[in-house]
Amino acid sequence: MDDTHCETYLARLTPPGKSAIATLSLFGPRAWEIIFKVFKPRTKKPLPILPAPGSVFLGRLGLGHGDEVVLSCKNNSPMLLEIHPHGGTQVVSMLLEFLQAEGATLCNWQDFITHTTADPLQAMALVLLNQATTSEPTKILLDQFQGAFRLWLDSFLGFINQGDSRNATAMLSDIGRYSYLSGRLVEPWKVVLAGPTNAGKSSLMNILAGYQRSIVSEIPGTTRDVLWLETAIEGWPVSFADTAGLRTTSDPLENAGMLMGTNATEQADLVLWVQDCSSPVIPAPILFNNKKILGVTNKIDLDVFQADSIPQGSIGISALSGLGIEALLSKIIAELVSPVPKPGQAVAFHPLLKSALENSLEFVDKGRLLDVPKLWESFKKI
Ligand SMILES: Nc1nc2c(ncn2[C@@H]2O[C@H](COP(=O)(O)OP(=O)(O)O)[C@@H](O)[C@H]2O)c(=O)[nH]1
Ligand SMILES: [Mg+2]
């Protein structure tokens, strides 16, 4: 990124600790010169003067006899090499020290990304890609890594420079439809199971988990602590919270549990308001008024259940038999991920970008620009 320096950087890309193989990377103008001098190829064939991207060499590297490593050239202009030694901590430390003694500058992988990527936005997407745990956020981050947000930003800045605030504002409102995703590409969505005692919240939690995560009992007030379960639905990371059922009680522990449940609900992206189909319908408390709520009518396996008794918009399920669970999961994702981004859609893929865009909206007429390098500096401090 910074073309004023001409250092050669070295980083360990695999996390510290023992592993079968580790990956080190060497980047910069002297990368090949260093390797050319100290790498001992396994065959008699000497290393080329300039390696082709994609070429791979087997040989030894390091002090004394060194370690057997696989060396690969990712790019030769600028030079980016990967070294795969054995993953023991001593081997890796020896190689890092050895290559530093040959003139490479050691840095952590985040700083390494800063040096090897051309655009801070790309670096940001790459850091987040390493943290994404499921397929959908990975696809979105990959699109941004490949330039979706950068393209959007360049045309937005183009409109600003031309003084065309109408088109700039339209672009902001277009991308703003997807800014709900900014905090949910790395962090899971939070879905809270709430409702009266004995409605079947813990049973629902268990069927979602596929094992007994929560204690199920016909005794009201069994669940007290908030229990979290992280899972993936349709490629999205989702955390469910099972909470103490809401009822009036004098039990201080149960009341404390209800308070914890209320606090969990404050962070919720979605509340599942679970009710028993054989009990009178209770509307969700006003407490949840500013939350997205999805009604769930449970125990539809009971003989007393009548299909027309399901409140409008509510989903009928049986946490006992699994009936309706697939439909419930799809509905949860439809509630959370809306509108669905198309492949290649530009997305403000981090809360810092989201707030920068919100500020831009305020300053569009004054031509205030998004300061990407400054954002990257703030991002690295998080
Ligand atoms: N018939 C039937 N019983 C259920 C169902 N879900 C839960 N129960 C029963 O309802 C009682 C309360 O369930 P639980 O999950 O502990 O409710 P919670 O208090 O809302 O967590 C238990 O006896 C469960 O076995 C269901 O779908 N069908
Ligand atoms: Mg419970």
Supply the DSSP symbol for 275.
E
What pLDDT does residue 95 have? 96
Ligand 1 geometric centre to CA of 215 (Å): 10
Distance 205 CA to ligand 1 centre (A): 11
pLDDT confidence bin for 179, thresholds 50/70/90: very high
Distance CA 369, CA 132 (A): 29
DSSP state of 291: S
Q: 189-336: what CATH class?
A: alpha beta
261 Cα to the center of ligand 2, angstroms: 11
Inform me whether the pLDDT recorded for 3 exceeds 60.
Answer: no
Hey, which bits of 199-302 come out as E strands?
Answer: 227-233, 236-242, 270-276, 293-298
**pLDDT confidence of residue 6:** 80
Ligand 1 centroid, distance to 275 Cα (angstroms): 10
Indicate whether residue 199 lines ligand 1 (CB < 6 A).
yes
- Whether 336 and 188 have beta carbons less than 8 Å apart is answered as no
What is the radius of gyration, based on Cα positions, of the chain?
A: 27
Ligand 1 near 128 CB (within 6 A): no
State the closest ligand 1 atom to the C-alpha of 321, by its place in the atom list counted from 1.
27
Distance 254 CA to ligand 2 centre (A): 11
What residue spans define the domains of the chain?
A: 9-116, 120-178+344-381, 189-336
State whether the beta carbon of 215 lies less than 6 angstroms from ligand 1. no
**Does residue 70 sit in helix, strand or coil?**
strand
Residues with CB under 5 A from ligand 2 (ion): 202, 223
Length of the chain: 382
Query: pTM higher than 0.85, yes or no?
Result: no
Task: Find all residues with CB under 8 Å of 174, minimum gap 6, and list them.
Answer: none
For a substitution probing ligand 1, which of 203, 207, 243, 315 has the most ligand atoms within 8 Å of its CB?
Answer: 203
Query: Measured from the CA of 205, which atom of ligand 1 is nearest?
Result: 15
Q: Is the CB of 197 within 6 Å of ligand 1?
A: yes
Cβ–ligand 1 distance for 192 under 6 Å, the answer no
pLDDT in tens, 98-155: 999 999 999 998 888 888 888 889 989 998 998 999 999 999 999 999 999 999 999 9
Mean residue pLDDT of the chain comes to 87
216, 258, 282, 310, best to mutate for ligand 1 pocket (most atoms within 8 Å of CB): 216
Q: Above pLDDT 70, what percent of the chain? A: 87
Mean pLDDT of 213-222: 66
Residue 293: strand pairing partners = 271
Q: Which atom of ligand 1 is nearest to the CA of 195?
A: 20
CB 221 within 8 Å of CB 202: no
pLDDT (tens digit, 9 = 90+) per residue, 258-288? 666 677 778 899 999 999 999 988 888 887 8
Looking at residue 257, what is its pLDDT?
62
Q: Is 115 in the pocket of ligand 1 (CB under 6 A)?
A: no
Report the alpha-carbon distance of residue 265 to residue 288 in Å, rounded: 8
Distance (angstroms) between ligand 1 centre and the Cα of 200 equals 4
Distance (Å) from CA 216 to ligand 1 centroid? 7
Taking the centre of ligand 1 as the mean of its atom positions, its distance from the CA of residue 333, in whole angstroms, is 24
- With a 6 Å cutoff on the Cβ, whether 297 touches ligand 1 is no
9-116 shares its CATH topology with 189-336: no
CATH number attached to the domain at 9-116: 3.30.1360.120
In short, whether 206's Cβ falls inside 6 Å of ligand 1 is no
Closest residue to atom 1 of ligand 1, CA basis: 299
Identify the pLDDT of residue 225: 67
User: Which residue out of 198, 305, 318 has the highest number of ligand 1 atoms within 8 Å of its CB and is therefore the one to mutate?
Assistant: 198
CA distances (Å), 69 to each of 42, 77, 141, in order?
A: 10, 23, 32
Q: Say if ligand 1 is within 6 A of residue 356 CB.
A: no
Contact criterion met (CB below 8 Å) for 361 and 179? no
User: CA-to-CA distance for 271 and 282, rounded, in angstroms?
Assistant: 15
**Would you say the CB of residue 8 lies under 6 angstroms from ligand 1?**
no
Q: Are 217 and 201 in contact (CB under 8 A)?
A: no
Q: What is the reported pLDDT for 211?
A: 63
pLDDT bucket at 305, cuts 50 / 70 / 90:
confident
Q: Three-state SS across the chain? A: CCCCCCCCEEEECCCCCCCCECCEEEECCCHHHHHHHHCEECCCCCCCCCCCCCCEEEEEECCCCCEEEEEEEEEECCEEEEEECECCHHHHHHHHHHHHHCCCEECCHHHHHHHHCCCHHHHHHHHHHHHCCCHHHHHHHHHHHCCHHHHHHHHHHHHHHCCCHHHHHHHHHHHHCCHHHCCCCCCCEEEEEECECCCCHHHHHHHHHCCCCCCCCCCCCCCCCCEEEEEEECCEEEEEEECCCECCCCCHHHHHHHHHHHHHHHCCCEEEEEEECCCCCCCCCHHHCCCCEEEEEECCCCCCCCHHHCCCCCEECCCCCCCCHHHHHHHHHHHHCCCCCCCCCCCCCCHHHHHHHHHHHHHHHHCCCCCHHHHHHHHHHC
